[in-house]
Amino acid sequence: MTSLICGSLAFDTIMSFEGRFSEALLADQLHKINVAFLVPAMRREFGGCAGNIAFNLKLLGGEPLIMATLGQDGASYREHLDRLQISQRCIKTVDDSYTAQAFITTDVAGNQITAFHPGAMSFAHQNRVSDAGKVKLAIVAPDGRDSMLQHAQQCAEANVPFIFDPGQGLPMFSGDELKNLIELATYVAVNDYEAELLVERTGMNLAAIAERVSALVVTRGEQGAEVFAGNNYLAIPCVPVDRVADPTGCGDAFRAGMLYGLANDFDWETTARLSSLMGSIKIAHQGPQNHDLSRAEIEDRFQQAFGYRF
Protein backbone atom coordinates (compact mmCIF):
# COMPACT_ATOMS: atom_id res chain seq x y z
CA MET A 1 0.00 0.00 0.00
CA THR A 2 2.17 2.79 -1.34
CA SER A 3 1.86 6.29 0.11
CA LEU A 4 2.99 9.13 -2.15
CA ILE A 5 4.86 11.83 -0.26
CA CYS A 6 5.05 15.12 -2.15
CA GLY A 7 7.34 17.50 -0.31
CA SER A 8 10.85 18.74 0.20
CA LEU A 9 14.18 16.99 0.58
CA ALA A 10 16.66 19.22 2.36
CA PHE A 11 19.81 19.37 4.38
CA ASP A 12 19.17 20.77 7.85
CA THR A 13 21.88 22.68 9.66
CA ILE A 14 20.65 22.59 13.26
CA MET A 15 22.03 24.91 15.93
CA SER A 16 21.27 25.17 19.64
CA PHE A 17 20.99 28.51 21.44
CA GLU A 18 21.40 28.10 25.19
CA GLY A 19 19.15 31.03 26.07
CA ARG A 20 15.67 32.21 25.15
CA PHE A 21 14.94 34.20 22.02
CA SER A 22 12.48 36.32 23.99
CA GLU A 23 15.31 37.61 26.19
CA ALA A 24 17.15 38.97 23.15
CA LEU A 25 14.18 40.55 21.39
CA LEU A 26 12.63 43.85 22.41
CA ALA A 27 8.96 43.98 21.49
CA ASP A 28 9.03 47.72 20.73
CA GLN A 29 12.19 47.44 18.60
CA LEU A 30 11.27 44.66 16.19
CA HIS A 31 11.15 47.14 13.31
CA LYS A 32 14.97 47.48 13.50
CA ILE A 33 16.05 44.08 14.73
CA ASN A 34 19.77 43.28 14.74
CA VAL A 35 20.63 40.30 16.92
CA ALA A 36 23.12 37.43 16.98
CA PHE A 37 22.71 34.16 18.85
CA LEU A 38 25.74 32.21 20.09
CA VAL A 39 25.24 28.58 19.05
CA PRO A 40 27.91 26.34 20.60
CA ALA A 41 26.38 23.18 19.13
CA MET A 42 25.82 22.64 15.41
CA ARG A 43 25.24 19.63 13.21
CA ARG A 44 24.07 18.82 9.67
CA GLU A 45 21.21 16.39 9.16
CA PHE A 46 19.17 14.84 6.38
CA GLY A 47 15.80 16.59 6.45
CA GLY A 48 13.01 18.11 4.43
CA CYS A 49 9.37 17.24 5.06
CA ALA A 50 9.18 14.45 2.48
CA GLY A 51 12.38 12.84 3.71
CA ASN A 52 11.33 13.03 7.35
CA ILE A 53 7.84 11.65 6.70
CA ALA A 54 9.20 8.82 4.55
CA PHE A 55 11.81 7.92 7.19
CA ASN A 56 9.17 7.55 9.91
CA LEU A 57 6.71 5.74 7.66
CA LYS A 58 9.45 3.23 6.80
CA LEU A 59 10.05 2.61 10.51
CA LEU A 60 6.39 1.63 10.80
CA GLY A 61 6.68 -0.80 7.91
CA GLY A 62 4.88 1.44 5.42
CA GLU A 63 5.73 1.93 1.74
CA PRO A 64 6.77 5.55 1.20
CA LEU A 65 7.29 6.92 -2.30
CA ILE A 66 8.95 10.33 -2.26
CA MET A 67 8.16 12.85 -5.00
CA ALA A 68 10.76 15.61 -4.67
CA THR A 69 13.89 17.22 -6.09
CA LEU A 70 17.56 17.20 -5.13
CA GLY A 71 20.34 19.47 -6.32
CA GLN A 72 23.84 18.89 -7.63
CA ASP A 73 24.98 18.15 -4.06
CA GLY A 74 22.32 15.49 -3.45
CA ALA A 75 24.42 12.33 -3.87
CA SER A 76 24.81 11.81 -0.12
CA TYR A 77 21.03 12.06 0.34
CA ARG A 78 20.49 9.42 -2.33
CA GLU A 79 22.99 7.16 -0.56
CA HIS A 80 21.09 7.73 2.68
CA LEU A 81 17.79 6.75 1.04
CA ASP A 82 19.45 3.67 -0.43
CA ARG A 83 20.50 2.59 3.07
CA LEU A 84 16.91 3.05 4.23
CA GLN A 85 15.60 1.13 1.19
CA ILE A 86 13.28 3.99 0.26
CA SER A 87 12.36 4.27 -3.41
CA GLN A 88 13.89 7.16 -5.39
CA ARG A 89 12.10 6.65 -8.68
CA CYS A 90 10.11 9.91 -8.30
CA ILE A 91 13.05 12.04 -7.15
CA LYS A 92 14.58 14.31 -9.79
CA THR A 93 18.04 15.89 -9.71
CA VAL A 94 18.34 19.54 -10.73
CA ASP A 95 21.95 19.88 -11.85
CA ASP A 96 22.30 23.67 -11.71
CA SER A 97 20.89 24.13 -8.20
CA TYR A 98 21.80 23.18 -4.67
CA THR A 99 19.56 20.92 -2.62
CA ALA A 100 17.17 22.88 -0.41
CA GLN A 101 18.79 23.82 2.89
CA ALA A 102 17.35 24.88 6.23
CA PHE A 103 19.33 26.65 8.93
CA ILE A 104 17.45 26.07 12.19
CA THR A 105 18.25 27.61 15.56
CA THR A 106 16.41 26.25 18.61
CA ASP A 107 16.37 27.92 22.03
CA VAL A 108 16.04 26.24 25.43
CA ALA A 109 12.25 26.63 25.33
CA GLY A 110 11.98 24.73 22.04
CA ASN A 111 11.26 27.85 19.98
CA GLN A 112 12.83 27.87 16.53
CA ILE A 113 14.06 30.46 14.03
CA THR A 114 14.66 29.07 10.54
CA ALA A 115 16.29 30.46 7.40
CA PHE A 116 15.50 28.41 4.31
CA HIS A 117 17.12 28.28 0.86
CA PRO A 118 14.75 26.49 -1.56
CA GLY A 119 17.28 25.65 -4.27
CA ALA A 120 16.18 22.60 -6.27
CA MET A 121 12.86 22.58 -4.42
CA SER A 122 11.76 25.46 -6.65
CA PHE A 123 11.66 22.98 -9.55
CA ALA A 124 9.55 20.33 -7.79
CA HIS A 125 6.56 21.23 -9.98
CA GLN A 126 8.33 19.38 -12.80
CA ASN A 127 7.30 16.16 -11.07
CA ARG A 128 3.82 14.89 -11.83
CA VAL A 129 1.61 12.71 -9.64
CA SER A 130 0.83 10.51 -12.65
CA ASP A 131 4.50 9.48 -12.69
CA ALA A 132 4.01 7.68 -9.38
CA GLY A 133 1.69 5.03 -10.77
CA LYS A 134 -0.83 3.39 -8.45
CA VAL A 135 -0.81 4.71 -4.89
CA LYS A 136 -3.37 4.34 -2.10
CA LEU A 137 -3.07 7.86 -0.74
CA ALA A 138 -0.78 10.87 -0.70
CA ILE A 139 0.33 13.84 1.30
CA VAL A 140 1.06 17.28 -0.13
CA ALA A 141 3.59 18.63 2.36
CA PRO A 142 5.67 21.84 2.29
CA ASP A 143 7.50 22.18 -1.01
CA GLY A 144 7.78 24.72 -3.81
CA ARG A 145 4.65 26.86 -4.11
CA ASP A 146 3.84 25.77 -7.67
CA SER A 147 4.43 22.12 -6.88
CA MET A 148 2.05 22.18 -3.91
CA LEU A 149 -0.68 23.75 -6.01
CA GLN A 150 -0.14 21.39 -8.93
CA HIS A 151 0.30 18.19 -6.92
CA ALA A 152 -2.88 18.88 -4.95
CA GLN A 153 -4.79 19.41 -8.21
CA GLN A 154 -3.24 16.31 -9.77
CA CYS A 155 -4.10 14.14 -6.76
CA ALA A 156 -7.70 15.32 -6.89
CA GLU A 157 -7.93 14.70 -10.64
CA ALA A 158 -6.51 11.20 -10.19
CA ASN A 159 -8.94 10.49 -7.31
CA VAL A 160 -6.04 9.92 -4.94
CA PRO A 161 -7.10 10.87 -1.39
CA PHE A 162 -4.53 13.17 0.15
CA ILE A 163 -3.55 15.07 3.26
CA PHE A 164 -2.98 18.79 2.74
CA ASP A 165 -0.15 19.71 5.10
CA PRO A 166 0.73 23.37 4.40
CA GLY A 167 3.21 23.67 7.28
CA GLN A 168 5.60 26.57 7.09
CA GLY A 169 4.64 27.04 3.45
CA LEU A 170 1.19 28.29 4.43
CA PRO A 171 2.06 32.01 4.13
CA MET A 172 2.84 31.50 0.42
CA PHE A 173 -0.85 31.11 -0.39
CA SER A 174 -3.70 33.60 -0.54
CA GLY A 175 -6.97 32.99 1.22
CA ASP A 176 -8.67 31.91 -2.00
CA GLU A 177 -5.84 29.51 -2.85
CA LEU A 178 -6.05 27.96 0.61
CA LYS A 179 -9.81 27.57 0.28
CA ASN A 180 -9.32 25.77 -3.03
CA LEU A 181 -6.62 23.51 -1.57
CA ILE A 182 -8.94 22.61 1.30
CA GLU A 183 -11.74 21.79 -1.15
CA LEU A 184 -9.39 19.52 -3.11
CA ALA A 185 -7.99 17.76 -0.04
CA THR A 186 -9.38 14.74 1.76
CA TYR A 187 -7.69 15.64 5.04
CA VAL A 188 -5.99 18.75 6.45
CA ALA A 189 -3.21 18.62 9.06
CA VAL A 190 -1.81 21.74 10.76
CA ASN A 191 -0.23 22.70 14.06
CA ASP A 192 -1.86 25.20 16.40
CA TYR A 193 -0.09 28.25 14.94
CA GLU A 194 -0.85 27.18 11.38
CA ALA A 195 -4.48 26.58 12.35
CA GLU A 196 -4.79 30.19 13.51
CA LEU A 197 -3.15 31.45 10.32
CA LEU A 198 -5.37 29.22 8.19
CA VAL A 199 -8.46 30.61 9.92
CA GLU A 200 -7.23 34.18 9.44
CA ARG A 201 -6.34 33.71 5.76
CA THR A 202 -9.50 31.85 4.73
CA GLY A 203 -12.01 33.60 6.98
CA MET A 204 -13.35 30.17 7.97
CA ASN A 205 -13.29 28.84 11.52
CA LEU A 206 -12.05 25.33 12.30
CA ALA A 207 -15.57 23.90 12.23
CA ALA A 208 -16.15 25.28 8.73
CA ILE A 209 -12.83 23.89 7.52
CA ALA A 210 -13.62 20.49 9.05
CA GLU A 211 -16.95 20.40 7.19
CA ARG A 212 -15.08 20.51 3.87
CA VAL A 213 -12.78 17.53 4.50
CA SER A 214 -13.06 14.02 5.91
CA ALA A 215 -10.91 15.08 8.86
CA LEU A 216 -9.08 18.11 10.19
CA VAL A 217 -6.17 17.39 12.53
CA VAL A 218 -4.63 20.11 14.70
CA THR A 219 -1.50 19.30 16.70
CA ARG A 220 -0.90 21.31 19.86
CA GLY A 221 2.56 20.28 21.05
CA GLU A 222 2.64 19.07 24.63
CA GLN A 223 -1.13 19.52 24.81
CA GLY A 224 -1.64 16.70 22.30
CA ALA A 225 -3.81 16.87 19.20
CA GLU A 226 -7.41 17.40 18.12
CA VAL A 227 -9.21 15.49 15.39
CA PHE A 228 -12.38 16.85 13.80
CA ALA A 229 -13.81 14.00 11.72
CA GLY A 230 -17.39 14.39 10.58
CA ASN A 231 -19.50 14.82 13.70
CA ASN A 232 -16.81 13.30 15.88
CA TYR A 233 -14.28 15.21 17.95
CA LEU A 234 -11.27 13.49 19.49
CA ALA A 235 -8.77 14.94 21.94
CA ILE A 236 -5.59 12.89 21.74
CA PRO A 237 -3.07 13.26 24.57
CA CYS A 238 0.61 13.79 24.05
CA VAL A 239 2.64 10.66 24.87
CA PRO A 240 5.03 11.59 27.72
CA VAL A 241 8.77 11.41 27.08
CA ASP A 242 11.75 11.11 29.41
CA ARG A 243 13.50 14.02 27.74
CA VAL A 244 12.89 16.63 25.09
CA ALA A 245 15.96 16.65 22.88
CA ASP A 246 14.93 18.36 19.63
CA PRO A 247 11.51 19.31 18.18
CA THR A 248 12.79 19.40 14.59
CA GLY A 249 10.75 16.97 12.49
CA CYS A 250 8.15 16.08 15.15
CA GLY A 251 5.29 17.25 12.94
CA ASP A 252 6.59 15.11 10.10
CA ALA A 253 6.79 12.06 12.38
CA PHE A 254 3.17 12.73 13.40
CA ARG A 255 2.10 12.83 9.75
CA ALA A 256 3.85 9.54 9.06
CA GLY A 257 1.61 8.01 11.73
CA MET A 258 -1.40 9.51 9.98
CA LEU A 259 -0.37 8.05 6.64
CA TYR A 260 0.20 4.62 8.13
CA GLY A 261 -3.11 4.61 9.97
CA LEU A 262 -5.08 5.80 6.96
CA ALA A 263 -3.34 3.37 4.59
CA ASN A 264 -4.23 0.50 6.92
CA ASP A 265 -7.82 1.63 7.53
CA PHE A 266 -7.35 2.27 11.25
CA ASP A 267 -10.05 4.21 13.07
CA TRP A 268 -9.22 7.83 13.83
CA GLU A 269 -8.54 7.25 17.51
CA THR A 270 -5.87 4.65 16.77
CA THR A 271 -4.47 6.67 13.87
CA ALA A 272 -4.12 9.82 15.97
CA ARG A 273 -2.69 7.93 18.92
CA LEU A 274 -0.06 6.34 16.69
CA SER A 275 0.71 9.76 15.23
CA SER A 276 1.13 11.20 18.71
CA LEU A 277 3.46 8.34 19.66
CA MET A 278 5.63 8.88 16.57
CA GLY A 279 6.01 12.56 17.47
CA SER A 280 7.03 11.68 21.02
CA ILE A 281 9.60 9.15 19.79
CA LYS A 282 11.12 11.77 17.51
CA ILE A 283 11.31 14.57 20.07
CA ALA A 284 13.52 12.45 22.34
CA HIS A 285 16.23 12.30 19.65
CA GLN A 286 18.47 14.89 18.04
CA GLY A 287 17.76 15.49 14.37
CA PRO A 288 14.74 14.49 12.28
CA GLN A 289 16.02 11.11 11.06
CA ASN A 290 18.23 9.66 13.80
CA HIS A 291 15.78 7.59 15.87
CA ASP A 292 16.10 3.91 15.01
CA LEU A 293 13.30 1.81 16.48
CA SER A 294 11.99 -1.44 15.09
CA ARG A 295 8.33 -1.93 14.26
CA ALA A 296 8.07 -4.27 17.27
CA GLU A 297 9.52 -1.63 19.59
CA ILE A 298 7.02 0.95 18.30
CA GLU A 299 4.17 -1.52 18.87
CA ASP A 300 5.40 -2.15 22.43
CA ARG A 301 5.51 1.58 23.16
CA PHE A 302 2.02 2.00 21.74
CA GLN A 303 0.70 -0.74 24.02
CA GLN A 304 2.43 0.80 27.04
CA ALA A 305 0.85 4.19 26.25
CA PHE A 306 -2.65 3.12 25.23
CA GLY A 307 -3.21 -0.42 26.53
CA TYR A 308 -3.60 -2.23 23.21
CA ARG A 309 -1.61 -3.04 20.07
CA PHE A 310 -2.30 -1.44 16.71
- Residues with active-site annotation: 252
Beta-sheet strands, E only, within 151-283: 162-164, 187-191, 215-219, 225-229, 232-236
CA distance 126 to 299: 38
CA distance 175 to 198: 8
Q: At 6, which helix (H) or strand (E)?
A: strand 2-6
CA distance 249 to 283: 8
Q: Indicate the residue type of 45.
A: E
203 and 232 in contact (C-beta within 8 Å)?
no
The string of DSSP letters for 8-72 reads --EEEEEEE-SS-HHHH--GGGGGG--------EEEEEEE-HHHHHHHHHHHTT-EEEEEEEE-T
Q: Which residues contact 16 (CB under 8 A, 6 or more apart)?
A: 39, 40, 41, 42, 105, 106
CA distance 189 to 191: 7
**Exposed/middle/buried for residue 202 (C-beta within 10 Å: 0-12, 13-18, 19+):** buried
218 and 226 in contact (C-beta within 8 Å)?
yes
119 and 98 in contact (C-beta within 8 Å)?
yes
77 and 9 in contact (C-beta within 8 Å)?
yes
